[in-house]
Structure 1
Amino acid sequence: MTSTAENLPELVSLKVERTGHVAEVTLLGPAKGNAMGPDFWRELPIVFGALDADPEVRAIVLTGSGAHFSYGLDLPAMLPGWAEYLAGDALAGPRTKFLEEIRTLQASVGSIAAVRKPVIAAVSGWCIGGGVDVIAAADIRLASADAKFSVREVKVAIVADLGSLQRLASVIGEGHLRELALTGKDIDAARAERIGLVNDVFDDAEAALAAARAMAREIAANPPLVVQGTKDVLSVNTERQIADGLRYVSSWNAAFLPSKDLAEAVQAFMERRSPEFKGE
């Protein structure tokens, strides 16, 4: 593979390489389980913007380093910066800033969906919360047999607001999406394949990544402008609905996310215990 680092600023959370017309983006962390902290949210749109503009790139593989795709949002890294927004007595100023923060994170994930080149996610290990938001923005998802998925935000007193609720209905159907989002349950790769969250399941991470690379090469061998046009035509069916849904949930969370239940969820997470929610 050829590094494309010379065309990008120094990256902390992502690695980008290219072989022929296929680019590969790998989540690096640096937090445990490739958890998504400030560096990730800042770098993701830079990387996908550069790949979109690179005429040599015709398809993209997105994967995680190590045993897991991503544990999702890096709460310890993100929450300190949100303290003033999440205070129970926060007024219009802090809540407006929080609305802007949510929409910035939404746009970061949206850079994956917006890139004109098809994106294939290769998932192994855990894919939780923000990890599901990210793969929902990809065009195609493949998994290893050990992969596990969870739209877990409800368990930490958060309405998922980065795209899973908007993008997955057309992928897995309303019934499956509501089950996953309202329970916050974990599902394995076999269940993910049955409901259409992933196209295929492979024996291990190496096989899943190899299959993603092979599919990307197959796509890249087709006329690039026609491939981009096909993705554009397919996306137009849902993009307005997704945009409206993201705008609505960002406003909802800016107004209603601060709660005693959220504080309890964070405290329980830090203390490694089960939370006790009271609807306050």
Structure 2
Amino acid sequence: MATAYKALRIEKSEGVAEVILTGPGKGNAVGPDFWREMPEVLRELDADASVRVLLLRGDGAHFTYGLDLPAMLESLGPMLTGDNNTAFERTQLMRLIEQMQGATEGLARCHKPVIAAVHGWCIGAGMNLIAASDFRYCSQEAKFSVREVRVGILADLGALQRLPRIIGEGHTRELAYTGGDFDAERALRMGLVNQVFASPEEMLTAARATARKIADNPPLVVQGAKQVLEYCADKSVEDGLRFVAVWNSAFLQSNDLTEAFAAFMERRPPRFQGR
């Protein structure tokens, strides 16, 4: 991906695309550039057949401090404090929120698995981003906060919708109402993260190793598993079984299936092509 972005950096290697938050706000705080660029980046990566897994992480000492409030206020100011805060300004604000939701929704709707690797602070908007990811790793010093309530904002980028599925209603409500900070140990107990590692370096190494394992599997089967899991999240077991039966009836036959059998018989690693 040759495009130069202001708030992101993309590094691709052998089927794994690392989406790296870079700021330019302090602590990778996300401002207007990020909300404009992230949906575009995700559309491109989702359409890129060479990409099989996304790894979302932050540059430097933190995942993200959340919203870059000074930068966002430059965009939001007329919509919030104008003398004529009428339907026009309110419609503008709604469209801006919908644009911002495109970043988190792009993660959630991406056909490829998304791993979030968290170190340092993960605040506000960061919680919305990791909640939209498939699963999460963090390092021991990581700290988290659904911080919006403390700055007079109702979280509107997906955390309130997705966190109950991940950590349960009770934890979500406590975090959303208090805006309190919590550490990696509690994140693990709640089920927000799958594993905690001693250092950011160990965490990133493990996240990359997991991404590599996923990328080595048949990509269309991995993407099928994600589609089935997403469909079944709010369906009955009966509906889910019917859906996966139809899915396999349509997509089971493939060159990768033939390659899997051939590799097994020849006692060699398979080479899956996504065909």
TM-score by length of 2: 0.83
Instruction: Please give the residue correspondences for 1:230-249 in structure 2 after superposition, counting only pairs within 5 Å.
Output: 230-238=225-233
Whole-Å Cα distance in 1 between the matches of residues 5 and 33 of structure 2? 8
Q: Which amino acid aligns with 2:57?
A: T
Q: Which amino acid aligns with 1:37?
A: G
**Residue 84 to residue 238, structure 1, CA distance change in 2 (3 Å):** farther
Displacement after TM superposition at 1:81 (Å): 1.3
- Which of 140, 146, 149 aligns to 2:135? It is 140
Residue aligning to 1:101: 96
Whole-Å Cα distance in 2 between the matches of residues 238 and 187 of structure 1? 27
Whole-Å Cα distance in 1 between the matches of residues 233 and 146 of structure 2? 21
- Which of 143, 165, 168 aligns to 1:173? It is 168
**CA-to-partner distance for each residue in 1:148-197, whole Å, 9 max, x for gaps?**
00001011111100110011110000000001000100000000000001
Matched residue of 1:26: which SS? Answer: strand
* 1:201 aligns to 2:200 (yes or no): no
Q: Which amino acid aligns with 2:159?
A: S
Whole-Å Cα distance in 2 between the matches of residues 234 and 54 of structure 1? 22
Residue aligning to 1:54: 48
Matched residue of 2:111: which SS? Answer: coil
Alpha carbons 2:101, 2:157 under 8 Å: kept: yes
Q: Which amino acid aligns with 1:141?
A: R
* 1:38 aligns to 2:32 (yes or no): yes
Residue aligning to 2:81: 87
Displacement after TM superposition at 1:238 (Å): 4.8
**CA-to-partner distance for each residue in 1:78-120, whole Å, 9 max, x for gaps?**
1121112112751111101111111110112211111111000
Displacement after TM superposition at 1:127 (Å): 0.2
Which entry has the higher C-alpha Rg, 1 or 2?
2
Whole-Å Cα distance in 1 between the matches of residues 89 and 234 of structure 2? 29
Residue aligning to 1:191: 186
Residue aligning to 2:14: 20
**Residue 87 to residue 239, structure 1, CA distance change in 2 (3 Å):** farther
Specify which structure has the bigger relative contact order, considering alpha-carbon pairs within 8 angstroms and separated by 6 or more residues.
1
Displacement after TM superposition at 1:55 (Å): 0.6
Amino-acid identity (%): 56
Whole-Å Cα distance in 2 between the matches of residues 92 and 24 of structure 1? 40
- Which of 54, 63, 70 aligns to 2:64? It is 70
- Count of residues in Structure 1 that have an aligned counterpart in Structure 2: 234
Q: Which amino acid aligns with 1:83?
A: G
Matched residue of 1:112: which SS? Answer: helix
- Which of 210, 219, 227 aligns to 1:224? It is 219
Q: Gaps spanning 5+ residues in structure 2: where?
A: 236-275
Displacement after TM superposition at 1:237 (Å): 3.8
TM-score by length of 1: 0.81
Alpha carbons 2:36, 2:99 under 8 Å: kept: no
Pairwise CA RMSD: 1.4
Residue aligning to 1:251: none
Q: Which amino acid aligns with 1:25?
A: V
Whole-Å Cα distance in 1 between the matches of residues 47 and 117 of structure 2? 23
